[in-house]
Amino acid sequence: MRVALAMALLSIALPAWSQTEPPPLADDEGLPRIVVGPQGFSLMRVAVAPTRCEGGGAVCKEVHAQLNRNLQVALYFELLKPETFIPAAAEAPLGETNYPDWNSVGARHLIKSEVSGSGPYTVELRLHDVLDGKVLPVKGQSHTGLSAKAVHGAVDEFLNSTVEALTGKKGLFGSRLVFAIKTGKQTRGVGIVEMDGADQGGIVGGDTISMLPSFAGGGVLYTSFRDGKPDLYIGKKKLTNNPHHYRGASMGPSGTIAAALSKGSGTDIYLLDGGGNPTTRLTNGEGQNVSPTWSPDGGKLAFVSDRSGGPQVYVMSAGGGGATRVTMAGGYNSTPSWGSNGLIAFAAMTGSGSDILTTDEGGNMQRITQNQGTNTDPCWSPDAQYLAFVSAREGGKRIYISTPDGRYQFPITEKSGGYSTPRWGK
């Protein structure tokens, strides 16, 4: 009887997790699930005081909006709500800061700003360490004689220095992404936008199908049907003048272009010479081979091939030869991007749509999105500090940026755009 009672008490004391099966670590496609654990870093709590306007007008309001928006886009900071600020502290002049007031609302750092003039403008920006009660010396604090357009770049400089001072990583504000965008039922154009969503504009008109853009030297490389079949262009200059059909290309660190092209029924990866002519065939007719992306050192290429059935990501030497499959799960994996951190980001079709994952050359995968709608077309920032991708989670396809682990994500374009295949440049 005592033994039975002890066993009964033991079963009651057992924690719930020991009596149930742990959740599966992979979904039905074999792709890893996101395992929620301790976050790699805590968001820094920052207060942005109202920008003081000495005749700055609309430009002054834009500075305040840019500071708030870009600190969110940076994905390192938690912005405190203005309604929590103590009025006297928030309205104090640039040179007067009551640190205890800002400490009392939970700020770890404080940004203050002032715009004066009616054009040209003077912009003053300050980063404060609230706990230590001092101004931190960062670049871009003072600017004079600025046009309205130049003010945005001045704030970018200050914010980049702020990010570096507080995180040790260089800020990327002012860097740009190219993308394809739907312009009609049967047409697509190529556009460009800054990392924070500012200064969006078109590069290639949308009166035909132009797609798959990427940065190439000082221009933009893309595929276009402008002359009736898919050819490669850099800017307005046609790069390829042969009967082959091109399905995307990528320029490597040395300036060599790898392209997917069809000479018949199949598609293979080739290297091109300076005139756009195929010189070296890297794949040999094993299925459809597309979406080449260079390794950081230019010694290898990742690409997509359906040689094993459904599309999977493979890696091969830039000199050609045998290719190694690196995605061993998922039935349809596409659009790889090889980051300077050595990880290859790609999109994988799932039961609920599509998600973003990363893998190393050994096939060790990590999931970036999950249960967040359809996510496609990932690309790394030049320093692999961020991922950008397209998501339809809120309706129309828009561009998001994310930390490399997917924990923090933020949209940088409007919902209404039909964006696809972004690629990040400097």
CATH number for position 117: 3.40.50.10070
Among 167, 197, 225, identify where a domain stops: 167
**2 in any annotated domain:** no
Give me the pLDDT at residue 206, please. 81
Among 167, 187, 219, identify where a domain stops: 167
Residues 122 and 193 reside in one and the same domain: no
The list of the chain residues with pLDDT below 50 reads 1-20, 38
**287 in any annotated domain:** yes
**13 in any annotated domain:** no
Give me the pLDDT at residue 42, please. 83
**37 in any annotated domain:** no
Residues 290 and 263 reside in one and the same domain: yes
Give me the pLDDT at residue 40, please. 57
The domain tally of the chain equals: 2
Residues 111 and 82 reside in one and the same domain: yes
**329 in any annotated domain:** yes
Give me the pLDDT at residue 372, please. 92
Q: Is the pTM for the entire model greater than 0.85?
A: yes
**38 in any annotated domain:** no
Residues 189 and 160 reside in one and the same domain: no
In this predicted model, what pLDDT tens digit does every residue of 169-213 receive, in sequence order? 999 999 999 999 999 999 999 999 999 999 999 988 889 999 999
Residues 369 and 329 reside in one and the same domain: yes
Q: Which domain holds residue 80?
A: 44-167
**39 in any annotated domain:** no
Give me the pLDDT at residue 35, please. 63
Residues 232 and 329 reside in one and the same domain: yes
Residues 151 and 285 reside in one and the same domain: no
Give me the pLDDT at residue 368, please. 96
Q: Is there a contact between 63 and 71 (Cβ–Cβ < 8 Å)?
A: no
Give me the pLDDT at residue 24, please. 61
Residues 149 and 183 reside in one and the same domain: no
Nearest 10 degrees: CA dihedral of 81, 409, 175, 214? Answer: -160
Residues 160 and 303 reside in one and the same domain: no
Residues 250 and 276 reside in one and the same domain: yes
Residues 350 and 235 reside in one and the same domain: yes
**4 in any annotated domain:** no
Among 135, 167, 199, identify where a domain stops: 167
Give me the pLDDT at residue 238, please. 95
Residues 239 and 368 reside in one and the same domain: yes
Q: Is there a contact between 313 and 325 (Cβ–Cβ < 8 Å)?
A: yes
